[in-house]
Amino acid sequence: MFLWALFLIALTASYLSFQSFVDSGSRYFAASWGGIQWEKQVRKSAQIHRGGGMSVLVTGAAGFVGSHVSLALKKRGDGVVGIDNFNSYYDPSLKKARKSMLAEHGVFVVAGDINDGKLLAKLFDVVAFTHVMHLAAQAGVRYAMENPHSYVHSNIAGLVTLLEICKSANPQPAVVWASSSSVYGLNEKSPFSESDRTDQPASLYAATKKAGEEITHTYNHIYGLSITGLRFFTVYGPWGRPDMAYFSFTRNILQGKPITVYRGKNRVDLARDFTYIDDVVKGCLGSLDTSGKSTGSGGKKSGPAPYRIFNLGNTSPVTVPALVSILERHLKVKAKKNVVEMPGNGDVPFTHANISMARREFGYKPTTDLQTGLKKFVKWYLSYYGYNHGKAVN
């Protein structure tokens, strides 16, 4: 615990040096929200259209998982309001396309940052959210070596800003948020279980997610917030993130460019527990449906509230070379592979989820294997990027 305290202090100091960038960003977003028309859009989007439904604030709603979860909630009749800062970690045009897709289904996505406490407070003033689905985060293991401050900004400071608003709300919402399988770090026990040790992170990204689990536990303990953390295992599928291997492999194979396939020590193939987006969405909705109630009011706790952590994986790890072979089959193009040893950039050699807790708690049962899921992804990719007979239309 002492080491974790030192770690958090160091991250906080690093974050403070990042403030000038944050302040300028906040001034930009402040001009894009507020007013009577804006409030009408928020209220309309938050309207519940089913008996026993919920009103959910989804952070990172224009992101990969966030857009899918927002759409699923809306389709079943729940009220949904999104927030996203549309940053440039990857092509913002993809995020804007997801936003347009959500708008067609009646989901309003606010352009703003979760570090903007005034914006979050305004949203809770306009809508009494019953639940928060917190998916906004700085993702990516390797990018943390280039821009560590962005991880502190989003994954720690942003989380605390959001929790501060939630604990002061009346009524308090239940909070479900995205942790990560990366918290298992250097753990070699397989499959990974929620009770396994998570104090050996292999990357800054993993460390910020582990810190998030400690922070959320604090807010649950002190303020009575109902908290559920979800450890996602390599989520893939249509509308995915371009920085993910399956996405970049697809792009490079179609363009005739070589792909880099990493291999572990002693020439061992890397393996991941690839989990299809529709299965993850089912897990997110199941977590929301069983989250229980927060017990605080105006920042004061009246009794214990649920605190839960679940793995959401597929339970069937697949090697990266096998992934490439499946893509080659679906794309009908042979990949040009450069096989190299995995660098010390924070990646781990394998992941494998034990999902028995999620299955027992809310019936989580993944149904999509990698072959089927990648076929759906490739179909979306070729359509979205305008490929016809193997060539881009534009």
- Residues designated as active site: 205
> Using DSSP, how many helices (H) and how many strands (E) does the chain show?
14, 17
> What residues contact residue 8 under an 8 Å CB cut-off, 6+ apart?
156, 211
For residue 366, cis peptide bond before it (omega within 30 degrees of 0): no
Instruction: Please give the Cα distance from 63 to 112 (Å, whole number).
Output: 13
Instruction: Please give the Cα distance from 137 to 122 (Å, whole number).
Output: 21
**Spatial CA neighbour of 82 closest among 276, 98, 93:** 98
Q: Measuring CA to CA, how many Å separate 131 from each of 166, 267, 275?
A: 9, 46, 24
Q: Which helix (H) or strand (E) holds 59?
A: strand 55-59
Strand 318-319 to 271-272 pairing: antiparallel
Question: Under a CB-based contact definition with an 8 Å cutoff, are residues 107 and 80 in contact?
Answer: yes
**Which residues are registered as beta bridge partners of 135?**
none
Instruction: Please give the Cα distance from 194 to 355 (Å, whole number).
Output: 9
Instruction: Please give the Cα distance from 244 to 323 (Å, whole number).
Output: 12
Instruction: Please give the Cα distance from 248 to 246 (Å, whole number).
Output: 6
Q: What are 29's two structure tokens? A: 């977003």
DSSP class of residue 142 equals: G
Alpha helices in the chain (DSSP H): 2-16, 19-30, 36-46, 64-75, 92-104, 117-126, 148-151, 158-168, 204-223, 245-254, 277-289, 320-331, 356-362, 370-384
Instruction: Please give the Cα distance from 18 to 352 (Å, whole number).
Output: 35
Instruction: Please give the Cα distance from 12 to 213 (Å, whole number).
Output: 16
Strand 174-178 to 318-319 pairing: unpaired
